[in-house]
Amino acid sequence: MPGPRYTDLVAGLPASVPFVGPETQERERGAPFLARLGANESVFGPSPKAIEAMAEAAREVWKYGDAQSHDLRHALALHHGVAADNVMVGEGIDGLLGYLVRLVVGQGDAVVTSAGAYPTFNYHVTGYGGVLHTVPYRDDHEDPAALLAKAAEVGARLVYLSNPDNPMGSWHPAAAVEAMVSRVPEGCVLVLDEAYIDLAPEGIAPVIEADDPRVIRLRTFSKGYGMAGARVGYAIAAPGLIAAFDKVRNHFGMCRISQAGALAALHDQHWLTSVRIRVAQAREQIADIARDNGLVPLPSATNFVTVDCGRDGAFARAVLREMVARGIFVRMPFVAPEDRCIRITVGRARDLSVLAQVLPQALQAARRG
């Protein structure tokens, strides 16, 4: 019987997914998680003003969202001191990364990232036929010099850096990123993923001229603003690149409720500040729990703590497996030697209480292995 003919590119793609979500894992294990500390979501939730704005917007959801996200885009421009035509709002950083890759990466085009960095970026690159070139982390940090050297060597269209970094929680100071921007090879764009920047200490966000065509910054309402499920991200870049998104994006793709929530969240910086404080406290508590169990917490500028389990990847995977089996959703780096670690998102008191209880049991079980 007749049926679809897939493109050669699609026929060659794996059926894989970037991540297995917690709900999928809950269905597989047949029980809900006791603590949801694996996806770097913000357990502290969104601003109450954002919740109120979303509830209100739900009544008007019979209307399509504004295709230009005008009000949010202009508010973001004001917030960042850039022009509105430097800002593109999209369906989370994931959605924006997909559009960006589609704009510049054709079949066989080179892209550079760190081995073990954000897999959804890699998913998009592979999905559009790009060829990934990776460099290793260096002492649990992404390595700007190596990324740039590789980008120049392979003639990359894009070079990816997350700062602060996921999954290691490490970071480079603003000056290092500024230096990296100044050395982006011709014909390449630095994809600066700043998903976690709202939770980082001062001095990490670089000063970048918004019209600089060598870099695109990506921000999100998913982390500090606590709205992962709303799918609102934005890019800051030169007007030419921002305008190019209009050639390929899903113009009416933004949820109207999410647009309203993000705008209210942006206007409640007081809430963001309170989240930053609570995240910093929870990071310390996770670090204490790790140390109490003889493990080494790595410094973090994010809403998670990457914990060195002190042995190899097989051991860390066993620890993770035992934690998941005991009802704690956590994740871990994919690549050695970073996969000696597990990655624990910050939690509320009740989440961390479960963590403190389960971690020693999981370690004991993993050691018995």
State which residue, 92 or 169, has the beta carbon closest to its own copies: 92
- The distance from CA 152 to its chain's CA centroid, rounded to whole angstroms, is 25
CB of 139 to its own copies, least distance (A): 29
AA letter at 91: E
Cα 150 to Cα 53: distance, rounded to the nearest angstrom:
46
State which residue, 23 or 284, has the beta carbon closest to its own copies: 23
CB of 67 to its own copies, least distance (A): 4
Sign of torsion over alpha carbons 239, 245, 251, 254: negative
CB of 5 to its own copies, least distance (A): 5
Which residues neighbour 298 within 8 Å (Cβ) at sequence distance 6 or greater? Answer: 140, 168, 169, 170, 305, 306, 307, 308, 341
State which residue, 18 or 294, has the beta carbon closest to its own copies: 18
AA letter at 5: R
Q: Which residue has the tokens 């389960």?
A: 358
CB of 227 to its own copies, least distance (A): 5
CB of 350 to its own copies, least distance (A): 15
State which residue, 2 or 30, has the beta carbon closest to its own copies: 2
State which residue, 74 or 326, has the beta carbon closest to its own copies: 74
State which residue, 45 or 136, has the beta carbon closest to its own copies: 45
- Residues 234 and 89 sit within 8 Å (Cβ to Cβ): yes
State which residue, 18 or 201, has the beta carbon closest to its own copies: 18
CB of 241 to its own copies, least distance (A): 6
State which residue, 62 or 368, has the beta carbon closest to its own copies: 62
CB of 36 to its own copies, least distance (A): 7
**Nearest CA-CA partner of 217 in 207, 202, 227:** 207
Cα 72 to Cα 232: distance, rounded to the nearest angstrom:
10
Residue 10 burial class via C-beta count within 10 angstroms: exposed 0-12, middle 13-18, buried 19 and up: exposed
- Residues 265 and 227 sit within 8 Å (Cβ to Cβ): yes
CB of 297 to its own copies, least distance (A): 23
DSSP structural state of residue 66:
P
Which whole-number Å values give the CA distances from 178 to 76, 107, 204, 225, in the listed order? 22, 30, 10, 25
Which residues neighbour 303 within 8 Å (Cβ) at sequence distance 6 or greater? Answer: 40, 42, 196, 199, 223, 224, 279, 283, 345, 346
Structure tokens given for 266: 């942006």
State which residue, 319 or 332, has the beta carbon closest to its own copies: 332
Q: Which residue has the tokens 């357990």?
A: 43
Q: In what order do the strands lie in the sheet with 341-345?
A: 296-297, 304-308, 341-345
CB of 247 to its own copies, least distance (A): 4
Backbone angles phi, psi at 296, to 5 degrees: -115, 110
